Amino acid sequence: MASTKLYQILNVSQSVDDKQLKSSYRKLAKKYHPDSNKDNPKAATQFAEVSNAYDILKDKDKRQQYDSGIIDEKGNQTGFGGGFGGNPFGQGRPRHGGNPFGGGSGGFEDVFSDLFGGGMGGQPRPQKGQDAQIRVTLSFEDAALGTNKRIRNGAGKLINAKIPAGVDDAQTIRLKGQGGASPNGGPNGDLLLKMGILPHDFYKRDGKNIHVEQAVDLNDAVLGEKINVDTIHGKIALRLPRGVSSGKTFRLKGKGIIDAKGAGDQFVKIMITLPEDEDKDLLSLMKKWATNKLSLKSDA
């Protein structure tokens, strides 16, 4: 009798339709996801079991093979799915180790090898373990500059994952061999890290370029003073031209995001700010300036 273990793992009956199957899988995947169970090492194993069960049952052909007993809950061949009760190619057995298909000895064993990926006894070839996926949340600076994160791999073990500089939101990084274990001695699956980058109050990203709006005092703009601008690589001095207007943008070459393919730039948009409290000296100066301006116009 065929196993019903995969249906039990997903808490559904064998008559479940695709919609109900998907709904149950999503609930369980959310429940056992390693990101939500950092203090429960068993959750990673349960998450892998749920994912494996859904991978088989969502596939029409695999589900039919599983229901018929042709494959087991790991997706491995079990036999002929109901069996023939003897030699599937005839009643007799080849005498003296002969090949029932003609030719040299070993033909019968070769057939089983082709069907099951091994020798007599149907031993399957080693299969790769299931891949696992987790979401990794990074600050803007960590994503731009690169960092190391302590995370749990597909086996629930804490590992140190190196995040390269310049990763972007929704980007996926593959860590080979850090996924689920193989069911029969093959290599481990991979761990897929999906990046989630937090927004920043000051820096705005555009590819490898960074855009900022820099507040500048009126006197610095008028007189053309040096100002300090924050970049992800540290502060840099920027000399303003005299009388610079609000909205003027300056380019800081190579001060953007640097990855293996090169460096981006930082673009600084000047935003002139006035004092929040009334400044009598500034008012007097502006009135005097406006009077002189009118006088020059009238003389012209």
pLDDT one-digit tens code per residue, 198-242: 999 999 999 999 999 999 999 999 999 999 999 999 999 999 999
Query: What pLDDT digit, counting tens, does each position of 115-150 carry?
Result: 444 444 455 678 899 999 999 999 999 999 999 999
pTM of the model: 0.56
Mean pLDDT, to the nearest integer, of 244-255? 97
Sign of CA dihedral 163, 166, 170, 171: negative
Helices (H) and strands (E) in the chain, counts: 8, 13
The Cα–Cα gap between 188 and 159 comes to 15
Cα 267 to its chain centre, rounded Å, is 29
d(CA 234, CA 237) in angstroms, rounded, equals 10
Phi/psi of residue 103, each to 5°?
Answer: 90, -165
> How far is CA 196 from each of CA 42, 171, 172, 176, 260, rounded to the nearest angstrom?
24, 8, 10, 20, 20
Q: What is the C-alpha separation between 286 and 289, in angstroms, rounded?
A: 5
Written out in words, the top-level CATH class of the domain with range 132-197 is mainly beta
Which CATH superfamily is 5-82+107-116 part of? Answer: DnaJ domain (1.10.287.110)
**Residue range(s) of every CATH 2.60.260.20 domain in the chain:** 132-197, 204-276
Q: What is the pLDDT of residue 154?
A: 87
What CATH number does domain 204-276 carry, 2.60.260.20, 3.30.420.40, 1.10.3720.10, 2.160.10.10? 2.60.260.20
Distance, in Å, from the CA atom of 71 to the CA atom of 63, rounded to the nearest integer, reads: 9
Q: What average pLDDT does the structure give for the chain? A: 84
